Structure 1
Amino acid sequence: MTALADSVADASWTTALRRWNTVCWVLFGAMAVGLVTAAPPGGSTYEALALLGCVVLCYAVLDRRPGNPVVRPQVYLSVLVLALGGLAYLGGGYAALFMVTLPHYWMFGRTPRISMGFLGLAAGATLTGALVREGWSAEFFGETMVSVLIVVAVGVLIGLWAHSVVAQSAERARLIEELERTQAELSEAHQRQGAADERERMARDIHDTLAQGFASIIVLAEAARAGMADDPGRSAQQLRSIESTARENLAEARELVGSAGQPGPGRVVSGSVARTLRRTLDRFVEDTGLAVDADLADLECDQQTRIALLRCTQESLANVRKHARASTVGVVLVRRPYGVELEITDDGTGFVAEESTGFGLDGMHKRLAELGGRLTVTSSVGDGTRILATIPTADESDGAEA
């Protein structure tokens, strides 16, 4: 992250000074042409051209072969400082070059402290050269010194402002990179969570459908084998139940495979919950021979509510068959002001609800919670069990939100 911010800062800094650097070399070239064409031949003209040539040559070497990023720029700035002092000594017009070289101190100084240090050395060399040439005269104090100090002040202000802009750009680049990385991590976390939720949903559906069906098949097969000699008619009925359960399991498996990845809650299918639960209860009575007292209101609700009520009923009946050793089961389905309510009771052995760690009850809790409902389990050893599932319907949910 730091390396990226530094590279962005360097790129922004170089771009900001590139135009000024171009102007600087244009003025250098114009001055060289002016020296050759306008100034009379003499030693000072050739010396000025020689100093300018040294600056150009040093910059060319630096530009072509950057080499060490610390030493070579400082060598070039040192040559530039000496050349400015020599040009100021050779003529008053040459001192103006100090102004056009300002971007070089900030471009090659690398840090504000180094840049201002070389800027101060260049100002001192220019003033020293002018002082040696002009002496302590009014022209030196009134024009040269004031001009150089103004240029130094302007250069410091512009350089510090530019460094501040580059620092802000680097900080923005760092924040943008951090934001993009955070967004990528958040997206990956959402994908992982989505995959985990889908696996949990599939596991719950398999447990509530296929696993319960296979458990029923095993119980029926054991009962049919045990009663084959004494009660062939009963065994034949149990075999037919095994066949029906296996076909239903096959249909459930196909439905699970076909609906994988499809959004279920958005599809609303009207239908009678009572008829669906009645078929489940009839199959339970046929398989177990237990007495079932059912009071099922004829309700119309969406598909997800129907599925949740059906799965809660199937899981509760499966627990009664496997654990309760009950003789009677009661099922009540009613509509309340706050939604749909399903109550399943049995007179079996019961259990300690707080100590239950089964996947079935936990799955019912989560399935109802996804629909904004809740599951209440009341049981104690020897007193049977009461399962109460409550699901708010669409009208009640809208009314609660309002």
Structure 2
Amino acid sequence: MTAPAGSTADAFRATSLRRWNAVCWVLFAVMAAGMVAIDRPGGSKYTALALLGAVVVAYAVLTRFPANPVVRPHGYLSVLVVALGGLAYLRGNYAALFMVTLPHYWMFGRTPRASMGFLGLATVATLAATIARQGGWTVEFLTVQLVSTMIVVAVGVLIGLWAHSVVAQSAERARLITELERTQAELSEAHQRQGAADERERIARDIHDTLAQGFASIIVLAEAARAGLGSAPERSAQQLRSIESTARENLAEARELVGSARHPDRAAAGSVALTLRRTLDRFAEDTGLTVEADLAELECDQQTRIALLRCTQESLANVRKHARASTVGVVLARQPYGVELEITDDGTGFEVDRSSGFGLDGMRKRLAELGGRLTVTSSVGDGTRVLALIPLGAQT
């Protein structure tokens, strides 16, 4: 599962701050240890150690309980401000620790405004403690220490604002990258779902065009054979042979669908004209209808042959089930703009606009996948004309 963009950006920001914080603490520890080491023995030295220890303890508590609603980073900054003021009051060189703690206000302040607020408090505390230790204002303090402190604070503010901007931009980039990755993952998942839906639709279309039509043909032949057992045994025997042949073909189709193997089927076994001729001969034999065919020898790829065969099978199945026709005409021709398959019948016809069958829709989609189109022309009492066109670009 992809992590939320906000959490990734926060993690990136936290990592950057931890690295910066480690450097600051090393500098703070080295300077504090050096100043305490060179300080003369006495009460001020132990007081300085106590103040430094309070800062360390406050930071340790902060890192140990970062989510505690009572122990907040602002609490640590408050301890730091008090400690800096106390250290500056004890000895002048301790005021130098103020400079190395400048990054802490930007690392632990919740907002730039809060960071600048604590920085201001630390500045005032350090200067006030220094004035108190000196016993009042002096010209040296005004001309040297006050000016130098203001310069340090100004530089610290500029650097802090810059660092805060850099970290914010880096976090924003991390957030955008995470959102992009999440969008890509969602898009990939959507493509997978669409691919699965397309595959289910393809399988459903193949089942409808092959197995379903074959079973429908078996049912019609079985009913006719049963009705003619007594009066036309030879005809019934022929119909039983057709049932057997259709069942074998359905079994082969089922094995191909279950195995999901895209091996050449009947349409790829020979020329498309020969394949259609066998289909038309079987239809004429099973139905007793007159079939007039004009099939040109064409060279086309496997998918085009399959599409032409499926359109022929679906159209003949509709003639068998609905048309009540006596004659069917099939024309396969090569035109300058593509391959044309025309199937007509002299049956009862139908209203095309009111047709909602799966077969016609499946033919349209199958042809559309090859850049072709299907045109159905019919009216009640005037027969039906089905025209399938596959452009030359779909051929090899």
If the length of structure 1 is used for normalisation, what is the TM-score?
0.89
Task: Give the structure 2 partner of residue 360 of structure 1.
Answer: 359
Structure 2 Cα separation of the partners of residues 121 and 84 of structure 1: 10
Is 1:58–2:62 an aligned residue pair? no
Deviates more, 1:105-114 or 1:318-327: 105-114
Structure 2 Cα separation of the partners of residues 24 and 272 of structure 1: 88
Structure 1 Cα separation of the partners of residues 342 and 160 of structure 2: 79
Structure 2 Cα separation of the partners of residues 380 and 176 of structure 1: 59
Name the CA shift for 1:73/1:191 in 2 (closer, same or farther; >3 Å).
closer
Deviates more, 1:351-360 or 1:108-117: 108-117
Task: Give the structure 2 partner of residue 6 of structure 1.
Answer: 10
3-state DSSP of counterpart to 2:350 = coil
Deviations 1:267-292 (A, max 9, x none): x9684111000000111111111111
Structure 2 Cα separation of the partners of residues 180 and 325 of structure 1: 59
3-state DSSP of counterpart to 1:26 = helix
CA contact (8 A) 2:77 2:105 kept: yes
Letter in 2 for 1:62: Y
CA contact (8 A) 2:349 2:384 kept: yes
Task: Give the structure 1 partner of residue 227 of structure 2.
Answer: 226
Structure 2 Cα separation of the partners of residues 291 and 393 of structure 1: 31
Deviations 1:162-187 (A, max 9, x none): 22222223222322332222222222
3-state DSSP of counterpart to 1:136 = coil
Structure 2 Cα separation of the partners of residues 107 and 69 of structure 1: 18
3-state DSSP of counterpart to 1:340 = strand
Letter in 1 for 2:337: Y
CA contact (8 A) 2:35 2:93 kept: no
Task: Give the structure 1 partner of residue 117 of structure 2.
Answer: 117
Q: Output aligned runs, 1:25-104, within 5 Å.
A: 25-36=29-40, 46-64=43-61, 66-67=64-65, 68=68, 71=71, 73-104=73-104
Structure 2 Cα separation of the partners of residues 332 and 29 of structure 1: 100
The aligned length equals 386
3-state DSSP of counterpart to 1:330 = strand
Task: Give the structure 1 partner of residue 161 of structure 2.
Answer: 160
C-alpha deviation, 1:298, in angstroms: 0.7
CA contact (8 A) 2:327 2:345 kept: yes
Match 2:25 to one of 21, 25, 29 = 21
Name the CA shift for 1:76/1:61 in 2 (closer, same or farther; >3 Å).
closer
% identity of equivalent residues: 72
Letter in 2 for 1:58: V
Deviates more, 1:26-35 or 1:366-375: 26-35
Task: Give the structure 2 partner of residue 139 of structure 1.
Answer: 140
Name the CA shift for 1:136/1:54 in 2 (closer, same or farther; >3 Å).
closer
Name the CA shift for 1:347/1:75 in 2 (closer, same or farther; >3 Å).
closer
Deviations 1:360-386 (A, max 9, x none): 111100110111100000000000000
Structure 2 Cα separation of the partners of residues 19 and 29 of structure 1: 16
CA contact (8 A) 1:338 1:396 kept: no
Structure 2 Cα separation of the partners of residues 328 and 54 of structure 1: 108
Letter in 1 for 2:366: R
Task: Give the structure 2 partner of residue 376 of structure 1.
Answer: 375
Task: Give the structure 2 partner of residue 400 of structure 1.
Answer: none
Structure 2 Cα separation of the partners of residues 184 and 263 of structure 1: 29
C-alpha deviation, 1:296, in angstroms: 0.4
Name the CA shift for 1:396/1:283 in 2 (closer, same or farther; >3 Å).
closer
Deviates more, 1:145-154 or 1:68-77: 68-77
Letter in 2 for 1:117: G
Deviations 1:296-323 (A, max 9, x none): 0011111111110001001111111111
C-alpha deviation, 1:78, in angstroms: 3.0
CA contact (8 A) 2:304 2:395 kept: no
Letter in 2 for 1:14: R
CA contact (8 A) 1:81 1:118 kept: yes
3-state DSSP of counterpart to 2:300 = coil
Structure 2 Cα separation of the partners of residues 396 and 235 of structure 1: 42
C-alpha deviation, 1:226, in angstroms: 1.4
Deviations 1:122-172 (A, max 9, x none): 111222223331633221111100111011111111222222222223222
Task: Give the structure 1 partner of residue 387 of structure 2.
Answer: 388
Please report the RMSD computed on the Cα atoms of aligned residues, expressed in angstroms: 2.3
Structure 1 Cα separation of the partners of residues 262 and 27 of structure 2: 65
Name the CA shift for 1:78/1:360 in 2 (closer, same or farther; >3 Å).
closer
3-state DSSP of counterpart to 1:14 = helix
C-alpha deviation, 1:55, in angstroms: 2.2
Gap runs ≥5 in structure 2:
none
If the length of structure 2 is used for normalisation, what is the TM-score?
0.90
Is 1:238–2:242 an aligned residue pair? no
